[in-house]
Amino acid sequence: MNRGRARSSATRIKRRNKVGRARPGRTRGAKLHRLRRRRPQAGARLKRPRRRRLAVDPVTGAVSGTTEATVRAAYAQGLEQGRYEGGELLLEQSVPPGMLLTGIPLQAVIAAGVETLRPALIPLADAHAVFARMEAALAAGLPLSVVRLGDGEMLALAQDNVMDIATIRSEAPFLAYAGVEVPDLTARNLLAEAVRGADLVGVPLSRKPHFLPLLDPVLRSHGIDVRSLQLTDSLVNYNLHAAGLLARLMQGRRLLVIGNAAHALSERLAAAGFTVTGTISPVRGFADIGRVMAEAGRTDFDLALVSAGIPAVVIAWRLAAELGKVALDFGHMADGIASGKETL
């Protein structure tokens, strides 16, 4: 045998064995299997990556982890965009063509605009003026009603004249809790009559959609001129307390407390040294107004604190108009005192 040919043949066999030597777990079949797993078959659906769920605290609404920073940034961006479109953009569109307004912040422009509209401004009685009128009425034994309009009263008055029933049902499901089962046009008209006849009407200062922006269209729809009313802030109940005038108003007077929190409120008032001569509770909506008035007619009192949702407007007005008493639409102030959150 040729030694060179044998050596060459041995070398080729050695190389072939080296290349073809199988490694543990690396067989040809295993390699093909891996390739098939990596390569999707024709028509197969690709598996989408799982979406990351946000961990949101059910109580506080806080978003945990690094996602919270992302949410806060998005909120800040949206807030900034809203401020621009609701303010700076409107100013931008109001500047005459070919003119430039710079160096004057938006707040200053608004203030200057309001100043030019001063003849259109309507004065509001502050807490001290309201106290003076109530104190004078109590001293003279004259009737006086102080009622307040919030979003619930606005929406109840807006039924089927300013807003359609479906929209009110959708945007104000809380009205049932506040004493009005929509639609209730009888309650709407009675509420309008109470506003027209009340001595002082608290109106909202907030320009959120269901507050002050509804005031003019709602009153006009019932034939009420806003300038014919004696107006105050709808938070007059809180303002009287904050100014230290509420306790002075109640001191030495016989109090009638009306509303679902009447018993707890009466206990707090009695513990603070005030005289409660009657409580009427509960008040179940407009259908209960007749019963409330009948019970009030059998009670000796000077000042009524009425916390009965939207029907409180009608009750306070009727206590003054029919029984000759002083009545204050007391609202959630009753809950604050009853719970101890507000102290006397």
Q: Do 224 and 267 lie in a common domain?
A: no
83 occurs within a structural domain: no
- Residue from 268, 162, 273 nearest 218 by CA: 162
Q: Do 309 and 281 lie in a common domain?
A: yes
38 occurs within a structural domain: no
Burial class (CB in 10 A: 0-12, 13-18, 19+), 273: exposed
Q: How far apart are CA 317 and CA 321, in angstroms?
A: 6
Q: Do 229 and 273 lie in a common domain?
A: no
Length of the chain: 344
What is the number of domains present in the chain? 2
Q: Do 216 and 269 lie in a common domain?
A: no
Contact 286, 311 (CB under 8 A): yes
277 occurs within a structural domain: yes
pTM above 0.75, yes or no: yes
Q: How far apart are CA 312 and CA 315, in angstroms?
A: 5
344 occurs within a structural domain: no
Q: Do 131 and 209 lie in a common domain?
A: yes
80 occurs within a structural domain: no
C-beta neighbour count of 166 within 10 angstroms? 10
Question: Per residue of the chain (344 residues), what is the pLDDT tens digit?
Answer: 455 554 555 555 455 554 444 444 455 555 555 555 555 555 555 555 555 555 555 555 555 555 788 888 898 999 899 989 999 999 999 999 999 999 999 999 999 999 999 999 999 999 999 999 999 999 999 999 999 999 999 999 999 999 999 999 999 999 999 999 999 999 999 999 999 999 999 999 999 999 999 999 999 999 999 999 999 999 999 999 999 999 999 999 999 999 999 999 999 999 999 999 999 999 999 999 999 999 999 999 999 999 999 999 999 999 999 999 999 999 999 999 999 999 98
Contact 344, 269 (CB under 8 A): yes
Domain carrying residue 288: 246-339
CATH number at residue 323: 3.40.50.2300
Q: Do 260 and 325 lie in a common domain?
A: yes
Q: How far apart are CA 256 and CA 261, in angstroms?
A: 13
189 occurs within a structural domain: yes
What SS3 state is found at 276? strand
Q: How far apart are CA 34 and CA 26, in angstroms?
A: 10
